[in-house]
Chains A and B, each alone.
Chain A
Amino acid sequence: MKFGRLVLCSGAAALGFVLTTAGIASASNQWSCWHWEKSTIGTQTAAGGYWGTIIGSEFSQWESGTCVNFSGGSEIVGDAGFYGATGWLGIARILDYDAGACAILKADALMNQSYLDGGSYSETADRHVACQEIGHTIGLDHRKGPKNQTCMNDQTLGFPNFDAHDADTVAAITVGCNGGGNGGCDNGGERGRRKCNDGFDNDGDGCIDGADPDCQ
Chain B
Amino acid sequence: MKAITNLTLAGLSLAAGVAGAVVAAPLFHHHQEPAGRLTAMWANDYATLSEMTNDADAVVLGRVTQTVPGRTVEFADGRPALPFTFVDVEVTQVLSGEAPAFVTIEQTGGSFLGKEIFFEDDGGAYQAGDEVLLFLQEQEGTGLYLVPHPAGRFSVESGRLLAALPDHPAAQALDYRSVKLARSLIGR
Contact = CB atoms under 8 A, between A and B. Distances in A.
A200 B29 contact: yes
A39 interface: no
A97 B26 contact: no
A87 B76 contact: no
A95 B41 contact: no
A34 interface: yes
A164 interface: no
Contact of A89 (B15, B41, B73): B41
Bin chain A's interface residue count. Answer: 35 or more
B22 interface: yes
B101 interface: no
A17 B24 CA distance: 9
Interface string B21-49: 11011101110111111111111110000
A199 B25 CA distance: 10
A20 to B, nearest CB: 4
A91 B108 contact: yes
A14 B6 CA distance: 16
A93 B139 CA distance: 24
B41 A132 contact: yes
A110 B20 contact: no
B11 interface: yes
Nearest to A9: B13
Contacts of A94: 37-38
Interface string A45-75: 0100000000000000000000000000000
Contacts of B37: 93-95, 97
Contact of B38 (A14, A15, A91): A91
A202 interface: yes
Residue from B24, B30, B34 with most neighbouring chain A CB atoms (10 Å): B34
A81 interface: yes
B38 A13 contact: no
Interface string A93-106: 11101010010000
B108 A15 contact: no
Interface string A101-128: 0100000001000010000000000001
Interface of A: 5, 8-21, 24-25, 31-34, 46, 79, 81-95, 97, 99, 102, 110, 115, 128-129, 132-133, 136, 141-142, 154-155, 194, 198-202, 204
Given A81-B76, A85-B146, 8 more contacts: A32-B35, A92-B39, A95-B117, A102-B32, A200-B26, A200-B29, A201-B29, A202-B29
14 contacts: A5-B6, A17-B18, A20-B21, A33-B33, A79-B81, A81-B76, A91-B82, A95-B112, A95-B117, A99-B34, A132-B41, A133-B41, A141-B39, A154-B45
